[in-house]
Structure 1
Amino acid sequence: MKRPALACLLLLAACSGQRTLTVCADPNNLPFSNRAGQGFENRIAQLIADSLGAKLDYVWWAQRRGYVRNTLGEKKCDLWPGVASGVEMVATTRPYYRSSYMFVTRADKPLAGLTLDDARLKTLKLGVQLIGDDAMNTPPSHALARRGLTTNVTGYMLYGDYSRPNPPAAIVEAVEKGDVDVGLVWGPLAGYFAKTSPVPLRLERVTPWLDDAQWPMVYEVSMGVRKDDPALLRRIEAALAQNRARIRATLGDYGVPLID
């Protein structure tokens, strides 16, 4: 290629104005995201990038403690999909979905209609998701502890064994195998892994949903950006609104229980 032609191409590329939207995501965390782009957050991120006329890129980081500090906090990426609305560490968009913790039971067991105050829970093997050994554990674990239900509870770490695919699936697999009778599982995880389960599973919302004002069972989910980039926040919100129907359809494809 002659030098003038090459220079012209380089100039066109520099002036094209296409930005790159860099998303921070976990490479091994279905149904949310993985390195192969198979998660619903991967699909939604692509919708957002397309609406912004941007090229989509990723910074892969295991979603454990220190995740925000090492990604958005160090300005390695622009966007964090799937953050609880209103968290203080980032600026969050308006919610793009709302979901609930779910009771997961085998469909062949007579366990329909459970609530947190159901007397049956005292004699059943219960599974809850855990984050750590401190006050950062999940709302169902706090709800069961307040009711004195601790001796018949097995914890399944939300982070899990990262050497295996999709470690949060372990609690649903425990219900499938009968290791526990009831799993109390965050909705998107429950819905996705129930859809792909070889054993028919029953999903019902954990109620009462506002068992404790600090630890509700229903959460709104947003996208997070750095607090010093309000312009990007506005553009992301506009893209979410533009793609509302397609986002809802995507969540349905993955079995995410949606609470209107």
Structure 2
Amino acid sequence: MKRAAVLVAVLLAGCSVHAAKPVLTVCADPNNLPFSNKAGQGFENRIADLVAHDLGRDVRYVWWAQRRGYVRNTLNEAKCDIWPGVASGVEMVATTRPYYRSTYVFVTRADRPLAGLTLDDPRLKTLSIGIQMVGDDGMNTPPAHALSARGIIRNVRGFMLYGDYARPNPPAEIVRAVADKRIDVAMAWGPLAGYFAKRSAVPLRVEPVTPWLDRAQWPMVYDISMGVRKTDPALKQQVETILRREKPAIGAILARYDVPQIKAE
């Protein structure tokens, strides 16, 4: 009788192990809407859920603030399998086919006559402008370089891309600064700007920065992919197949989050 009970217990344990789903471990920032947060409310969270579902896996997160050393300390140390939201073609990881293409944008108050701005608009010389900054001049955002090349410096205010991490969604501060009139115009990455501008209590205008390629070296438009370890080509291929098949669903997710989407040329 005891032997039979032991045998049943072993069989049940084996079934339990067999029934457990494999896991897709995702690198993500826990405080970075609209991209991701610990509550799973970002569009990258939604897209990661979609990919995991199609792979037949459960999602698990490795939370890490997107600071310097992010990739080195997460994906490249095999702490996770994928990194959503990486610029296509970056050298530190293998990147999938793009699943969206977006742009830097001008954000202005809708009640101000500032529609139709371009990088060469003379109005930029007299407006107070907010730009996203990384810190190291060689790594700063394309709008920062584009304005500097035009001698537009004194009327520019930098907003650190990382921001005050003690506050929710710190990069959104640049959009809030337009709403409360601390600056006249923000030049910010489209997915961030589109999401927070749409949810602003003050109506805001969001328009793509043009020209999209400044002086043949500073692109304002980027393709966005998922990053995978270079040592895992099989997963990269699987994820690419899903991104291609789920393109309509992914597009719908991006639209719900007011991500400016640019068609590939």
CA distance in 2 between partners of 1:106 and 1:77 (Å)? 40
Q: Equivalent residue for 2:100?
A: 97
Identity over aligned pairs, percent:
67
Alignment of 1:127 onto 2:133: no
The aligned counterpart of 1:52 is 55
Within the alignment, does 1:251 sit opposite 2:241 as a pair? no
TM-score (norm 1): 0.97
Q: Secondary structure at the match of 2:51?
A: helix
- Aligned match of 2:222: 219
1:115 to 99, 115, 118: 118
1:10-159 equivalences in 2 (<5 Å): 10-16=13-19, 18-159=21-162
**TM-score, structure 2 length as denominator?**
0.95
When structure 1 is superposed on structure 2, of 175-184 and 207-216 the one drifting more is 207-216
Q: What do the CA deviations read for 1:64-112 (whole angstroms, capped 9, x no partner)?
A: 1100000011100000000000000000000000000000000000000
> Structure 2: which amino acid aligns with 1:187?
G
Residues 202-242 of structure 1: CA distance to partner in whole angstroms, max 9, x if unpaired? 01110011103332000000000000000000011111112
Residues of 2 paired with 1:18 and 1:242: CA distance? 22
C-alpha distance in 2, partners of 1:5/1:57?
Answer: 31
Count of residue correspondences: 259
Describe the superposition over 1:1-35 as per-residue Cα deviations: whole angstroms up to 9, x where unpaired: x5434322321233347311000000000000000
**Structure 1 position 138, deviation (Å):** 0.3
Alignment-mate amino acid for residue 233 of structure 2:
P
| Mapped partners of 1:138, 1:238: distance in 2 | 31
Structure 2: how far apart are the matches of 1:212 and 1:38? 38
1:157-172 map, 5 Å = 157-172=160-175
RMSD, aligned α-carbons: 1.1
Label 1:6 to 1:199 Cα distance change in 2 as closer, same or farther (>3 A).
farther
Deviations 1:33-88 (A, max 9, x none): 00000000000000000000001000000001100000011100000000000000
Give the aligned partner of residue 209 of structure 1: 212
Larger deviation, residues 76-85 vs 242-251: 242-251
Instruction: Name the larger-Rg structure.
Output: 2
Q: Distance in 2 between matches of 1:39 and 1:258?
A: 17
Q: Distance in 2 between matches of 1:207 and 1:150?
A: 19
Q: Give the AA of the match of 2:191.
A: P
Deviates more, 1:195-204 or 1:207-216: 207-216
